Amino acid sequence: MPFPKTKPNPIRIYIESTIPSYVVARPARDLLQAARQQLTRDWWDLQREKHELFTSQIVLDEISAGERAMAERRLELIAGLALLISTPDVETLAADVLESGLLPAKADGDAAHIALATAYGMDILLTWNCRHIVNAAIVGRLRRLVAKQGYTLPEIYTPEELIGA
Predicted TM-score (pTM) of this structure: 0.92
CA dihedral sign, ordered 78, 26, 37, 18: negative
Domain housing 84: 12-162
Q: Does 2 fall in a domain?
A: no
Are 125 and 156 a contacting pair, CB within 8 Å?
Answer: yes
CATH of the domain at 103: 3.40.50.1010
Q: Does 86 fall in a domain?
A: yes
Count other Cβ atoms within 10 Å, centred on residue 34: 13
Q: Does 151 fall in a domain?
A: yes
Q: Does 129 fall in a domain?
A: yes
122-161 pLDDT tens trace:
999 999 998 989 999 999 999 999 999 999 999 999 999 9
Q: Does 7 fall in a domain?
A: no
Stated length of the chain: 165
Q: Does 5 fall in a domain?
A: no
60-75 pLDDT tens trace:
999 999 999 999 999 9
